[in-house]
Amino acid sequence: MSDLALSPGRSGRRSAPAAGTTPGTAQGPPRRRIALVPSVALLLGALYCLIPVAWVVIAATKSESELFSTFTFAPGTGLFDNIAELSAYRDGLYWRWLANTALYAGAGALLSTAVSALAGYALAVYRFRGREPVFNVLLAGVLMPPVILAVPQYLLLAKANLTDSYLSVLLPVILSPYGIYLARIYAAAAVPAEVVEAGRMDGASEWRIFYRIALPMLQPGLVTVFLFQFIAVWNNFLLPFIMLGDDKRFPLTLGLFTMLRQGAQTPAMYSLVITGALLAVVPLIALFLVIQRFWSLDLLSGAVKS
Question: What is the Cα–Cα distance from 143 to 226, expressed in whole angstroms?
Answer: 20
pLDDT band for position 23 (cuts 50, 70, 90)? low
pTM for this model (two decimals): 0.80
- pLDDT mean across residues, the chain: 84
Based on its alpha-carbon atoms, the radius of gyration of the chain, rounded to whole angstroms, reads: 28
Give the contacts of 125 (CB within 8 A, at least 6 positions apart). 187, 191, 193, 196, 214
Q: Per-residue pLDDT averaged across 237-256, rounded? A: 93
Q: Per-residue pLDDT averaged across 37-56, rounded? A: 90
Question: What is the Cα–Cα distance from 121 to 101, expressed in whole angstroms?
Answer: 29
Question: What is the Cα–Cα distance from 56 to 257, expressed in whole angstroms?
Answer: 16
Q: Are the C-beta atoms of 173 and 104 separated by less than 8 Å?
A: yes
Q: Taking Cα atoms as reference points, which of 242, 224, 200 lies closest to residue 287?
A: 224
pLDDT band for position 68 (cuts 50, 70, 90)? confident
With a cut of 50, say whether residue 304 has pLDDT above it: no
With a cut of 70, say whether residue 55 has pLDDT above it: yes
Pick the more confident residue, 292 or 132: 132
Question: What is the Cα–Cα distance from 259 to 206, expressed in whole angstroms?
Answer: 51
With a cut of 60, say whether residue 16 has pLDDT above it: no
Angle between helices 93-125 and 79-88 (to 10 degrees): 90
Question: What is the Cα–Cα distance from 78 to 70, expressed in whole angstroms?
Answer: 13
Pick the more confident residue, 146 or 110: 110
Number of residues that this document lists for the chain: 306
With a cut of 90, say whether residue 239 has pLDDT above it: yes
pLDDT at position 10: 44
pLDDT at position 21: 52
Query: Measured between alpha carbons, how far is residue 81 from residues 57, 87, 95, 96, 151 in Å?
Result: 15, 10, 16, 19, 40
pLDDT band for position 124 (cuts 50, 70, 90)? very high
With a cut of 50, say whether residue 277 has pLDDT above it: yes
Q: Are the C-beta atoms of 113 and 225 separated by less than 8 Å?
A: yes
pLDDT at position 7: 44
With a cut of 80, say whether residue 294 has pLDDT above it: no
Question: What is the Cα–Cα distance from 187 to 120, expressed in whole angstroms?
Answer: 7
> Residue 106 in 3-state DSSP?
helix
pLDDT band for position 289 (cuts 50, 70, 90)? confident
